[in-house]
Amino acid sequence: MGSIHLKQVTKSFDDVEVIKPIDLEIRNGEFMVFVGPSGCGKSTLLRIISGLEDTTSGNIEIDGQDATHLAPGKRGLAMVFQSYALYPHMSVRNNIAFPLKRAKMGKSEIEKKVDEAAKKLNLVDYLDRKPSQLSGGQRQRVAIGRAIVRQPSAFLFDEPLSNLDASLRVNMRLEISELHKSLNTTMVYVTHDQVEAMTMADRIAVFNKGVIEQVGSPLELYQNPKNIFVAGFIGSPKMNFIKTTKQNDVKVATIGVRPEHITVADGDFIWKGKIGVVEHLGSESFLHVTLHDGTGLTVKASGDTPLKYGDTVKLTVNDDKVFYFDDSGLNISDSVSNLHQVFFD
């Protein structure tokens, strides 16, 4: 079991409301990712779930039981911190055994569980080392080991990969995803990195200024963002936004097109502009184009594109992949059709 239900949860520090009333159901076995820019309240909400912060109002249910006022250690959750938060004076073995000792488990059972966890996480050779003698990735694995021995009903991860270098981050991302598949336990994962969110999540909750803008699967958020914030946050590089002043019946204020949906045209074209920086990633390239009216667009091109700085380029767009937002930022693409002529002809 491992379902978490947040009902009208709020949090204020003094007079500042950092979490506005939030309702969210995290299903049993689900990999839920909280994503958003820094200061949006995602880590605070995770800490509220863990019990390290109190709620100002609202209720938290874990496995159907009210856990709003339960102490962190009594919630049956395990947490992995950004800083690893290992006990520096204890060996890896004692770090992993710490929660089991607190639960007054027998010595032989503790040994068995620690050995199992160490095998699972490739830590067998390091059990007698102190955390200071380990690399960043190994430390993170110890932190995960300390979490899995408890067999919690849910894991909470607070930006666990932020302190690792880029290549290690990719490896650890895979390891955590594999761990989720093998344990089949609920995981709640906080990150500001939308690539992590997209690659790991079953569902993503996008946070902004203390509210959840949208909850859905990675593809749902990518294909059907609820508003301009989600559209801009999900997808890398981010979606291009073009303000429009053209008169229209449905009050479209902004048009959004992802870089991968703009193509370099030979014949008919919609926009014409000058290429600035070209970013070559090998498998693909990103062109930063400035249109005649000063609007900047990012365009995805093939990895071996001959286009270079200073070239003039004609661009067209895939009609189905254009998003329309009203002046409040809401995605109104579904309620409008055939706007191509209005905006692009």
CB of residue 105 vs another protein: minimum separation in angstroms? Answer: 11
160 lines the binding site for another protein (CB under 8 A): no
CA distance 186 to 197: 15
Which residues does 206 contact at the CB level (< 8 Å), separation at least 6?
A: 35, 36, 212, 213, 214, 215, 221, 229, 230, 233, 234
CB of residue 98 vs another protein: minimum separation in angstroms? Answer: 6
Residue listed under structure tokens 């500042």: 16
Residues contacting another protein: total by CB under 8 A: 24
Residue 89 or 340 with smaller CB distance to another protein = 89
Could you give the 3-state DSSP secondary structure of residue 312? strand
CA distance 66 to 75: 10
CA distance 315 to 321: 14
Task: Provide the CA 8 distance to its chain's centre, in angstroms.
Answer: 22
Return the residues of window 294-323 that contact another protein according to CB under 8 A: none
CB of residue 148 vs another protein: minimum separation in angstroms? Answer: 12
Q: Give the H or E element holding residue 297.
A: strand 296-302
Find out whether 236 and 221 touch, Cβ atoms under 8 Å: no
CB of residue 78 vs another protein: minimum separation in angstroms? Answer: 7
Residue 87 or 309 with smaller CB distance to another protein = 87
Residue 48 or 252 with smaller CB distance to another protein = 48
Residue 103 or 250 with smaller CB distance to another protein = 103
Which residues does 114 contact at the CB level (< 8 Å), separation at least 6?
A: 93, 96, 97, 100, 127, 145, 149
CB of residue 85 vs another protein: minimum separation in angstroms? Answer: 4
Residue 73 or 303 with smaller CB distance to another protein = 73
Find out whether 38 and 209 touch, Cβ atoms under 8 Å: no
Site for another protein (CB under 8 A): which residue of 52, 124, 219, 250? 52
Site for another protein (CB under 8 A): which residue of 113, 146, 180, 300? 146
CA distance 10 to 21: 5
Residue 154 or 287 with smaller CB distance to another protein = 154
Return the residues of window 54-113 that contact another protein according to CB under 8 A: 71-74, 77-79, 81-83, 85-89, 98-99, 102-103
Residue 2 or 216 with smaller CB distance to another protein = 2
CA nearest to 161, candidates 86, 81, 236, 88: 81
Binding mask 209-248 for another protein (x = CB under 8 A): ----------------------------------------
CB of residue 226 vs another protein: minimum separation in angstroms? Answer: 33
Residue 89 or 280 with smaller CB distance to another protein = 89
Asked, as a colleague might, if the bond just before 131 is cis with ω within 30 of 0, I would say: no
Q: Residue numbers of the site for another protein (CB under 8 A)?
A: 50-52, 71-74, 77-79, 81-83, 85-89, 98-99, 102-103, 146, 150
